[in-house]
Amino acid sequence: MSRRAYRILPTDSTTFHPRLLGTRGAVASNSNLSASAGADVLKAGGNAVDAAVAAAFVEGLVNPQMHTIGGECPLLVRLAGEARVIAVNGNMAAPARATPGEYRARGLSDVPDSGILAAGVPAAFGALVTSLQRWGSMPLKDVIAPALGLAKNGFPVSEGLRNQHKYGIAPMQARFAAEWPASAKLYLPGGRVPEVGALMRNDALARTFSFLANAKDPLAAFYEGEIAAEIVKFSKARDGLLERADLAAFETRIEAPAALQLGDTELFKTGFWSQGPAELQTLALMWQFDLRKIGFGTPDYCHLLVEAMKLAYADREQYYGDPEMTKVPGDVLLSENYSFQRKNLIDFKKASRELRPGNAWQNSALLSEEQKLTPKDWGAGTVHVDAVDAKGNMASFTPSGAWISSAEVIGPLGFPLSTRMMTFYLGPANHPNVMAPGKRPRTTLTPSMAFRNGKPWMAFGTMGGDNQGQWLLQFYLCRAAFGMSIPEAIEAPRLSSEHAPGFFAPHASEPNRVRIEPRFGTEVLEELRRRGHDLDVAPDWSEGFVSCAAFDEDTGLIEAGCDPRGAKSHCFPATALAW
């Protein structure tokens, strides 16, 4: 045995990232630059909300393949000393002219997945500033300063921004050059894809941020003033639907979260306009089984996980939508009786190929075939920020939308518009997510917050489209059911199901398809195939990009963690800080 060794035990069960512990603050995000911005704000005397807002503004600059300020930002907040969680509906709204008839008159059967006809009223700025004004402690001018400085002086291009699959500058080069001149001007300096590490400036966004930072009423400046005028001008020039009245009428909604008690923990999600409650439904089904006895990562665990998700996400397709404009049987969907009936549909010996929503209107296990809203095809990016301060304020923000891969940059403003309206359906008329004027499209964005024994525990989230909730509930299971540490839970192998119809047009699905990391092991993969699952074995370290910040009210201990998958998959330089 070597006398010079620093470790002689195997490292198979140790994590890449250590536990990051502190007592003063924590920030976890999808960029070292945004995490640093959030930490700087906390160290300057700001609270967790200030820090999360600062980090989100930076994310919208340095990870524009994932989010820009023209997008959305659903979020959850816990205030120090309080036993409640507050939800902010940071979701876009459809223009007044957005009707199924308007799109069919243009020869469309679906809302396009890119371009101006998928654009609604931007919601991210409203959500961030509303949160800052209600629960922050610093003025906008101070929290937007890090993003403004980076936009003006430049930031190094990351591997993800340059090369990320489908979304980065390099994959988008041809479209920028051929169709979107303002995007080409900003992201292809000199007509070339910038190299990793090259400084990139966004002078137009710096001017936008400066204008908003110095405005007496930033919300009015964005939604009623010059910013709104520029957005509508851009839209009209491309035959879009946005009008000044749409932006002026927009409001950021403050809501109660959806929540579910699971053992000694309680998980909080945004409402049924998001896919967050589908996580709660999945967990409610799984919690009725002896998960400890089943064991993490076993064939039975993976099978139960997939089959429970199929049932929950079938309900997502059947019932979820904007509760202000469609009736959602939320109380039944999250009820104990409904979950008990539904769990009896799970066959541990065989995977189900069916889309099986329950009858939540009658509180029964299955909906009749004629009532199912089965899509015709049956058979992008996001970031996340978590922050905690020493007083116990907690923030979970999921900024997304207005990706540079889906819409052209508005030249004078320095950001594109979100294309989230692509998640709407144009029919049938009774679909809960059918398009309507002023309606909020249902969204994949799903920030998370959890309590344990009635006290604040952790804020967490991820990017990932339809897979966000699936990855997050697996992280939660690792923590709440299997007792893993934050880095252990983040780095545990994960999977995702493509069985349910996707949120994004054309709402496609792959019945029984499971994308799975090979670290589950050959025996598990072979047994899942035997039970009828169609496995797509993913590259390792590609399923999920979870970040987390935790707070122990009894000891004052603060912890943060981030996912090595962000770097391994060339998506973004995820970073977690605690001090």
**Is pLDDT above 80 for 374?**
no
Q: Count CA atoms within 13 Å of residue 564 on its CB side.
A: 14
Instruction: Please spell the DSSP secondary structure of 94-141, one letter per residue.
Output: --TT--HHHHHTTT-SS--SSSGGG--B--HHHHHHHHHHHH-SS-HH
Beta-ladder partners of 451:
266, 456
User: Cα–Cα distance between 193 and 180 in angstroms, integer?
Assistant: 15
State mean pLDDT over 10-26.
94
Closest CA to 133 of 75, 28, 205, 53: 53
What pLDDT, on a 0 to 100 scale, did the predictor assign at position 380? 55
Q: Which helix (H) or strand (E) holds 267?
A: strand 265-269
**Is pLDDT above 70 for 44?**
yes
What pLDDT, on a 0 to 100 scale, did the predictor assign at position 381? 67
What pLDDT, on a 0 to 100 scale, did the predictor assign at position 364? 95
Q: For the chain, give the mean pLDDT.
A: 96
**Is pLDDT above 60 for 378?**
no
The tokens describing 56, both together, are 């989100």
User: Cα–Cα distance between 496 and 543 in angstroms, integer?
Assistant: 7
In our burial notation (b when 16+ CB lie closer than 10 A, e otherwise), range 134-160 reads ebbbbebebbbbbbbebbeeebbbbbb
**Is pLDDT above 70 for 193?**
yes
**Is pLDDT above 90 for 375?**
no
User: pLDDT tens digits for 78-116?
Assistant: 999 999 999 999 999 999 999 999 999 999 999 999 999
Quote the percentage of the chain above a pLDDT of 90. 92
φ, ψ at 550 (rounded to 5°): -125, 155
**Is pLDDT above 70 for 365?**
yes
User: Cα–Cα distance between 39 and 284 in angstroms, integer?
Assistant: 36
pLDDT band at 228 (very low <50, low <70, confident <90, very high): very high
**Is pLDDT above 70 for 376?**
no
In our burial notation (b when 16+ CB lie closer than 10 A, e otherwise), range 244-254 reads eebbeebebbe
pLDDT band at 501 (very low <50, low <70, confident <90, very high): confident
How far from the centroid of its chain's Cα atoms is residue 12's Cα? 30
User: pLDDT tens digits for 379-415?
Assistant: 456 899 999 999 999 999 999 999 999 999 999 999 9
The tokens describing 342, both together, are 């539904």
User: Cα–Cα distance between 402 and 70 in angstroms, integer?
Assistant: 5
What pLDDT, on a 0 to 100 scale, did the predictor assign at position 379? 40
∠ at Cα 233 (229, 234), nearest 5°? 120
Closest CA to 542 of 574, 518, 510: 518
The burial of 40, by beta-carbon neighbours within 10 Å (0-12 exposed, 13-18 middle, 19 or more buried), is given as middle
First to last CA, the chain: 37
User: Cα–Cα distance between 413 and 70 in angstroms, integer?
Assistant: 10
User: pLDDT tens digits for 113-138?
Assistant: 999 999 999 999 999 999 999 999 99
Contact by Cβ (8 Å): 16, 125:
no
Q: Does the predicted TM-score (pTM) go above 0.85?
A: yes
**Is pLDDT above 80 for 1?**
no
State mean pLDDT over 448-453.
98
User: pLDDT tens digits for 238-277?
Assistant: 999 999 999 999 999 999 999 999 999 999 999 999 999 9
Q: Backbone dihedral region of 102: left (phi > 0), alpha (psi from -120 to 50 degrees) or beta?
A: alpha
Contact by Cβ (8 Å): 491, 514:
no
What pLDDT, on a 0 to 100 scale, did the predictor assign at position 509? 86
The burial of 202, by beta-carbon neighbours within 10 Å (0-12 exposed, 13-18 middle, 19 or more buried), is given as buried
